[in-house]
A and B are shown apart, each in its own frame.
Chain A
Amino acid sequence: MSVLQTTNRGYAALETAGAWLLALLWILPLAYALWAAIHPSAYSAHFVLNAPLTSENFARAWNAAPFARYFLNTFLLVTMILGAQLVLCTLAAYAFARFTFTGRDLAFILVLLQLMIMPDVLIVENYRTMSAFGIVDTIPAIGLPYMASAFGIFLLRQTFKSVPRELDEAARVEGAGPLTVLLKVYVPLAKPVYIAYGLVSVSYHWNNFLWPLIVTNSVNTRPLTVGLQIFASTDQGIDWSVITAATLMTSAPLLVAFLLFQRQFVQSFMRAGIR
């Protein structure tokens, strides 16, 4: 082997080692969560190989807070937000991409403003708005500020703009109105973008915390994140066994989904052309 090849092999080995070290470091919290959740409290800080296994932590976690309800709330919330986003952003993006109307460019700039000024930053005022409408502590109240997503509009506009006009014209020639063109031509072509966007939206809202914390008061509306925080913060002290059990329970759906759909996840981002 030439010197260059050996050096390259050396670098490659170093790089592999580096990548693996980083990966191990990265998965450490999840690994620890697994450890603490399946062993009794006494072992949550001691990594003794032959420590007894137990499922008591999961039972305790499940009984300590109405997680079933929290799951339902989160599922409803995420579905509601995504559904609304898909509809609203499609319509708006279509308007920006294919229609000329006065004030369009100004409107688009105002939309882009939301990319930076997210509803999370305007918690005080938005809370006031919600209470003025009397919808504090409802699931729609959590979702409303996010339903018109500037990110979604931006993405879809980009995608729609790249659809060849010929297809649009062809459909119109066949007598289709603008909405039909949208549904039959643009939407199917933007499928990868929808999937990628949907994945981003679901994982964002599944894990959102501050706004749901402020807006919800009761078990019937709390999503998982808020339920988890209330559950985990006792003045008595932190019991990592139960907290990690609860964490694993609440993150399981997303984790499993990602495990199963890793490849599709990445591919959809590729095809979406989110570059």
Chain B
Amino acid sequence: MSERPSAGGRRAAQRVADDIAPARPASNVDLFFTFNRLALQGFGGVLAVAQRELVERKGWLTRQQFVEMLALSQVLPGPNVVNLALMFGDRFFGLRGAFAALAGLMLVPLAIVVALTFAYGEFSRLAPVAGALRGMGAIAAGLVIATALKLMTALGSSQLGRPLAGAFATLTFVAIAWLRWPLVWVIAGLGSLAVAIAYRRMR
């Protein structure tokens, strides 16, 4: 059942630390279908699959590039994965690429979710349906945590240095998950401190 890695994927795995991605999308159609494919695998969120497809299978981004693009898409307002698709498409094929990736990400899943809304009205009283929803939710949580753990390797090559980068990641987690501080303030406060330190450490 496990998928064989493509040539691009294997090379990507070897060159994680490098800043040059081993492959690139061929066309807007390629972008559309890749994002469609990753969206349709993304139950409970697309981020985990996006990392696997774009970095590990296709080799279109290095882990480092992925996490940087993700950082930008999180700082900008709006849905993260949508922002990521727009940025990714724009990077290779400009505006048309941005909308090709966005369309691939949204069109088919939108049709499915509307169909499910109808179905849910009919079947939500059945215990197995409610149970299945819970089971899928637990898996979704695990997928997000695993993606975070994988991307932690990108902290090693941070200009902040591994210990300081790790400290900022931990503080962010504590502020959001435990203290429940508003996200805007966490990013404005911790974020500007981290950026300032990174700026001072670069020549």
Do A and B assemble together? no
Measured CB to CB, the residues of B under 8 A from A are none
Q: B-contacting residues of A (Cβ < 8 Å)?
A: none
